[in-house]
Structures are given as structure tokens and as C-alpha cells.
Structure 1
Amino acid sequence: MSNQEAVVSCIEIVGCCKEIATGLVENVNKLLPDAKVVTVTQVVATQAKVNGMMEKLSLIFVLIIVFVGGAGIANDMLANVHERRREIGTLMSLGAESTLILRVFLLKALLLGMAGGVGGFVIGTVLAITLGPRLAGVPVFPMPVLALSAVGISVGITLAASFFPARRAAKLDPVTSFQEI
């Protein structure tokens, strides 16, 4: 069809044992020095290595995203504590204990984590279902089982990132919180 000489593009070798397949590959390589002859086992092993590398790379990206997201959440919570220091001081002046202040900020983090987990799961699922077939030509099906994981991970990261800012809020001195900085 391409108006070229006959070219061998694929040779399949089927053998009953590893030694025969290895000997056949070597002999075919000698007969066709310009061809790359491999066994199915080699192809599968190479694909398994590529899949393993992609899995590790994906894990690295997830860890980076989690770290950056956690740092962003911690920064926002610190800013919230700073902005609300007068309110915190007022509550503490009226008799609120440090544990109440800590629980208020951690409850806020819990609610934000739940909302973020649910919203992220819903938006991610809708985008995967609509864009997966268009971009990759692969049908994508929703996986509701992952919803609990998404919410759990989101809440965990949010609570962990918010703990130190919440503790800082709980340790504020009510007297100094009324001073202008």
C-alpha cells in the first residue's frame, strides 16, 4: 500500500518453554539484524515497569498537592485567627475557656473539610465523566465508593493544617487582643 518493499513489522514467537523462546529470539535476531525481536514476556515486563513508575510519579504529585493544600489551609486559618483576635479576646474575657476556642476553630475546619471533600468529589467526578471520553477516548464511570475516602482525606488534611492556628487562637491573651497592632 505504501509502494515500498516488503518489510517485516511483527514476528510472534510462541514456544512451550523459556529456553526455546530465548533460542528462537536469538536466532531471529541473527537472521534479521535490523529488526527488534522481543518476547511477550519482555513486553509485559516493560509495561509493568512503566506502570510502576507512573504510580510512583502520581504518588509524588499527590503528596505535593496535599502539602501545598495543607499549607494554604494553615495560612488561611492563621489569617482568620489574626483577623478575629478581638472576638476571641471578647469570648475569653466573658469566661470562655481555651478548649472552647480550640473546638470552635477545629469545628470550622471540620465543616470546611467536609464541604471541600464533597465538592471536590462531585466536581471531579462530573469532569471525569464528561471530559474523559472526549480527551482520552475512554469511558469513565462514577465510583461512589471513593466519596468517603475523598471526604475523609479532605477532613483529615484540613484538621491537621488547622490545629496549630486553632491552638494559637486558644492561647491568645484576652488583654493583649484588644490592643491595636
Structure 2
Amino acid sequence: MSYLRSVEISRVEMTPAEDSTYTTSTGSKRASYSLIGIKVLELALVIVCIGLIDEPSTHSHLRVFITPRVVALCYVTFGSLLIYSSIYLIMALFGDITPWRTATLWSFVGFILLIVTTALLFRDWSTTKERNYWHPNMQRLDLVLGAASVALVSTLIYLVDLLATIRFGISGELE
């Protein structure tokens, strides 16, 4: 019985430094909400990229619009960014935000992958266009150009995300 009493007394006699360790959130809501908004935009753009790249990559039996290696890189890049953005938003929904250094690393990796993917999509579109074999239906070639353009916008959004995460993290507005 005396043990329970001593635990109860020690709980009451906490110093302010010990009591502050139990706070849940010290970050700014403006920083968290702006990063969540950017992640929602990134998720929407990645879904659009997957939708645009699917038709030229899977239905080019007679004519190759995208090389198989670029298709593989596109699916890996867009798929991994789709998973990461979804997990980030689910964590934010439950109130658990990724530490800013980890979020910075992921944004940097996403930025680099999107740069490479965008450059290769534009290269494949250009080489296919320069073959001088114009099929009557150029819809698949237009979809490659559309996917490359949306991937370029996604690259710029990931750069904004990277810079905003670094700014908010260094200033102490994120946990």
C-alpha cells in the first residue's frame, strides 16, 4: 500500500520540465496544414500521371511509344510516391506527423525520381515523334506528352514541398 502512495505522491510533485515532456504537439498548425495541402496536390498529380502513362505503356504491341525500362521507372516512381503520399495523409489524419528530417529525405528522393522520369518521358516522346512514322491515331503519343508534362508539374510541386519542409523544420514550426 505504501508503494502506491509513493507513486501517487511522485505523480503530483512533477516539475514543470517533467510535465512538459507529456505535451503532444509543439508545431505550428499553419505549417502542418500547408504541408498536408501540398501532399494532397502531389497525390492527385501522381494519380493523373499513372492514368496517363497506362495506355501508352500497355497497349503498344505494334509500335513502341515508351521503352520498357522507362515504363518500369515510371511505375516504380509513381507507385512509390502514391504509397508514400497516402501513408503521409493517413498519418496526418490520425494526428501523427512524420519528423521533418524524414519528410525532407522523402521529398528529396521523390524530387530526384521525378526529374529522371520526366526527362526520360520527354526523351521517349521526342524520339518517337522523330521516327517519321505517323500512325493515324496519335492519341498514345499525346498521352506520353501529357504524362511528361504532368510529371514536370509534379517535380516542381515536390521541389516546393522540399523547400517548405526545410523552411518549417529549421524554423521550428514542425516537430
TM-score (norm 1): 0.29
Q: Which has the higher helix share?
A: 2
- Greater C-alpha Rg: 1
Structure possessing the higher relative contact order (Cα contacts under 8 Å, 6 or more residues apart)? 2
